[in-house]
Amino acid sequence: MVALAISWLKDADQALLAAKNQGKAALLDFSAAPQ
Amino acid sequence: MNFISSHFIPAKIHIKEQPQTFKRFGAQWTPTILVMTPNGEEAHRIEGFLGVDDMLAQLELGLGKSLFKMEKYAEAEKHFRAVVQQYPASEAAPQALYWAGVSAYKATNDPGKLKETALAEQKKYPQSEWAKKASVWAG
């Protein structure tokens, strides 16, 4: 997954809540990539 | 990757930090990407690495599926058609074409939309499972 210029949240529930409030889809990226 | 910022609220969950979240969403392998509707329902699941174009095609497909689940059929169709037009060689394209036809049918109640889709699948992606699934509409 390319992470360029994307503000990733680190909490699934926070993303789901924001998605609900903004009427957008949430994208949950489950990763094991080196941080 | 403005596409992601424009259309999604993105979150990255790391296996070492949040193994419980992996379990909660049934993520058993990485990478796993879930497209969730605004209502919190899973619309699309992508498992395994993909190149940029295939990934963007899958995300566009997921966006269409999310809108479809929200019964926004006309909007969903636009995203499904975009997959076919922008990424015609992607693995997502035959499925997107299928769901574009279903969305058009749902929006109009015109069974001709399904027949058109069956013929288009047969022409563009004759070897795909989605062409087989749509073939029932061709008669």
Test A29 with B5 for CB contact under 8 angstroms. no
ipTM for the predicted complex comes to 0.94
pLDDT tens digits, chain B, 139 residues: what are they?
A: 589 999 999 999 999 999 999 999 999 999 999 999 999 999 999 999 999 999 999 999 999 999 999 999 999 999 999 999 999 999 999 999 999 999 999 999 999 999 999 999 999 999 999 999 999 999 8
Handedness of CA B46, B127, B85, B116 (dihedral sign): negative
Burial of B2 (0-12, 13-18, 19+ CB in 10 A): exposed
Pair A28, A34: CB distance under 8 Å: no
Whole-structure pTM value: 0.94
| Shortest Cα distance, chain A CAs vs residue B71, angstroms | 13
| Shortest Cα distance, chain A CAs vs residue B80, angstroms | 15
Pair B33, A27: CB distance under 8 Å: yes
Task: Decide if domain B2-137 falls under CATH 1.10.287.130.
Answer: no
